[in-house]
Structure 1
Amino acid sequence: MEKVNVEKLFSWLDQTALTIQQYLNEPYLDSLADTMDLLFYEEVHEDMDQHITKTLQNALNDIDLSTFSTIEIRKAVQLAILKGMKDSTQQQHLITPETVSMIVGYLADKLMEKKEHIRLFDPAGGTANLLTTVLEHLKQQVDAYASEVDPTLIHLAVSNANLQKKQIEFFQQDSLRPFLLDPVDLVVSDLPVGYYPDDIQASKYELEADNGHSYAHHLFIEQSIMYTKEAGYLIFIIPEFLFDSDQSDKLNQFLHKHTHIIGVIRLPETAFKSKNNTKSILILQKKGSHTKEVKQPLLVQLPSFKNANAMADILGQMNVWFKKYHTK
């Protein structure tokens, strides 16, 4: 049933977005964001002409959002965004795979299980796929925040959160500039990989490159740690080469100075388009007056997500590790 509903909603989003795209002559992703707004507010923008208004009104009459679950909505939106990103050439227009987001959600739930109220932040919010998936896993009251500089992505993110009835406060800004944000309990982020072009802003960071442009992914880590409470946690989706690059010694020293490494989870190569794109998950705790090093960090190589038995076995082992971790 879920698959049927996901396909039905995706098809509606896709067809309606194509209709709007034809009318406005804009990129598909922008039309998709307009489509999501149309579905959420259930009314056609008043400055559209009569013909398109009638077409969109008929489309609205054909769909009832209340018949879809949050997961179905998230998956259908994801499929539509993925379709749009295939046509988009921009590197930052990428989406965190659903299975990877769910692992981050599982880890967030395990790390936060003793907390009644959580402040959560994603400094590279994208289309809010990762953040909404994590929110789905957390049972507590959560104040969620996200930052994204790209106007198309933030429009998609806000619309996505609205459709899933997730309350998230968004900042549209360069995430490596200062925020009006109090420190949070948990940061989750699929780190943007590449160089940061603003050398003046980069010079304010300890992880600034000694020469040339600094790595954006290093600066995002430093910025995230800055906005995390003492003893708070950070879960990063990182490129495989993070600790093998020319500036990795500096990063290592920085992490040992400010954080405890709680674990590293290697994701299966099969979760990514090519071996070069393979990523891992890095779990950190910001140092505080009562925190201490973990004697045995959580080090895991995940099997293929399609192998349900092996996956269940690994999750069982991880559950045991977290139980021990919390009793310490």
Structure 2
Amino acid sequence: MEQAQVEELYRVLDQASQLLAEDLDSSYLEALIEICEDVLQKNIQVENDQPSANVATRLKTLLNGINLAKYSDDEIRRGIGLAYLRAVQVDNIQATHHQTPDSIATLVAYIVAKMVKPGVKVDILDPTVGIGNLLAMVANYLKANNQLGNVTGVEIDDTLLALTGISFDLQHINGNLIEGDAREVELPAADFVVADIPVVHHLETVGADNQIISAANQALKPAGVAVYVVPSNILETTTTVDFLGALTQAVYVQGIIKFAPSTFKNEKAAKALLIVQRHGGHAQQVEQVLLAQVPALKSKEALPQFFIELDQWITTL
């Protein structure tokens, strides 16, 4: 039923966005942002006779079919996420602006939620928020357990940030969104950092943007934890030694979790989770750094065992 609701919401957003984009001669993404705003305001915005009267009427009919009350916050997140994937296709959006897949975001949210003690509210920061899929997934997990404090997302692309803002409003996430480069803006202190780190190319290898990781690590509170989505070869490149040397000046490397190769269509796009903890407070280097791989989803026996071992490891932090 949940998937059906997500697809239902997506279909309306998609039809309305296509209709508006054609009428305004705009990109699909720009139209999607306006449509989401119309859904939130429950009104079709018309300025200087745009959209045309005929299209405005058709949009009103389409959007009247959306009853926000029947969708969960996560269904709204997923519906907008599907519409953004459509925008990536239609507008030919560059790869650096693709959203974090749910298969990865779900595990990040699970890890963060498991680390938060009952009754404690934590501040979350995403220095590369994009359209907010990863940050929203984590925020919704914590919000459901009344553990969510301040939420901050940083993004250099103002169009993506606009979609994130309206998406968060629709999901009832009270977030502080900052337009700018995470390497240059002042980042607020956070208990947890979650981020899908952009890749940079070094000759024949691909690595994570170390400057963003460094800036985000500095924003962590003492003993705060960061979960970074990084290329799976994070410790196998020619820059590994320099990267680790710089990293461990501020944080402990506590774990690296790779995803099964079958998770990705292209092996070169394979990702891993890098889990680090800021020096200070109760933090210390774990006796056994977690080096694990998420089993394929079809592995009915290995997957539950992976989560048992993951839960046990989290208790050692």
Please indicate, yes or no, whether the TM-score normalized by the shorter chain is above 0.5: yes
- Alignment of 1:189 onto 2:181: no
The 10-residue stretch of structure 1 (182-191 or 81-90) with the greater mean CA deviation from structure 2: 81-90
Corresponding residue for residue 175 of structure 1: 182
CA contact (8 A) 2:139 2:148 kept: no
The within-5 A match list for 1:137-148 is 137-138=141-142, 139=145, 140-148=147-155
The within-5 A match list for 1:217-236 is 217-236=209-228
Deviation at 1:100, TM superposition (A): 0.6
Question: Which structure 1 residue ranges, 5 or more long, are not aligned?
Answer: 196-208, 210-214
- Alignment of 1:44 onto 2:44: yes
Corresponding residue for residue 206 of structure 1: none
Deviation at 1:89, TM superposition (A): 3.7
- Alignment of 1:301 onto 2:293: yes
Distance in 2, Cα, partners of 1:136 & 1:306: 26
Distance in 2, Cα, partners of 1:31 & 1:306: 38
CA contact (8 A) 2:208 2:231 kept: no
- Alignment of 1:73 onto 2:80: no
Distance in 2, Cα, partners of 1:216 & 1:242: 7
Distance 1:71 1:182, change over 3 A: closer
Distance in 2, Cα, partners of 1:6 & 1:141: 24
Give 3-state SS (helix, strand or coil) of 2:150's partner.
strand
Distance in 1, Cα, partners of 2:148 & 2:257: 27
What is the RMSD computed on CA atoms of the aligned residues?
2.0
Give 3-state SS (helix, strand or coil) of 1:126's partner.
coil
Deviation at 1:234, TM superposition (A): 0.6
Deviation at 1:273, TM superposition (A): 2.1
Q: Equivalent of 1:122, from 103, 123, 126?
A: 126
Deviation at 1:235, TM superposition (A): 0.4
CA contact (8 A) 1:97 1:271 kept: no
- Alignment of 1:266 onto 2:266: no
Deviation at 1:114, TM superposition (A): 5.7
CA contact (8 A) 1:99 1:305 kept: no
- Alignment of 1:255 onto 2:247: yes
- Alignment of 1:13 onto 2:13: yes
CA contact (8 A) 2:261 2:267 kept: yes
Corresponding residue for residue 95 of structure 2: 91
Give 3-state SS (helix, strand or coil) of 1:242's partner.
coil
The 10-residue stretch of structure 1 (278-287 or 306-315) with the greater mean CA deviation from structure 2: 306-315
Q: Deviations over 1:134-167 (max 9, x none)?
A: 1122221321000001122111111211121111
Q: Equivalent of 1:54, from 52, 57, 69?
A: 57
> Normalized against structure 2, the TM-score is what?
0.91
CA contact (8 A) 1:126 1:157 kept: yes
CA contact (8 A) 1:95 1:126 kept: yes
Distance in 2, Cα, partners of 1:272 & 1:300: 17
The within-5 A match list for 1:279-294 is 279-288=271-280, 290-294=282-286
> Normalized against structure 1, the TM-score is what?
0.88
Question: Which structure 2 residue ranges, 5 or more long, are not aligned?
Answer: none
Give 3-state SS (helix, strand or coil) of 2:292's partner.
strand
CA contact (8 A) 1:121 1:184 kept: yes
Corresponding residue for residue 156 of structure 2: 149
How many residues are paired up? 308
Corresponding residue for residue 166 of structure 2: 159
The 10-residue stretch of structure 1 (306-315 or 144-153) with the greater mean CA deviation from structure 2: 306-315
Distance in 2, Cα, partners of 1:169 & 1:274: 34
Corresponding residue for residue 199 of structure 1: none
Counterpart code for 1:28: Y
Deviation at 1:52, TM superposition (A): 2.1
Give 3-state SS (helix, strand or coil) of 2:97's partner.
coil
CA contact (8 A) 1:74 1:160 kept: yes
Deviation at 1:308, TM superposition (A): 4.1
| Residue identity (%) | 26
CA contact (8 A) 1:18 1:31 kept: yes
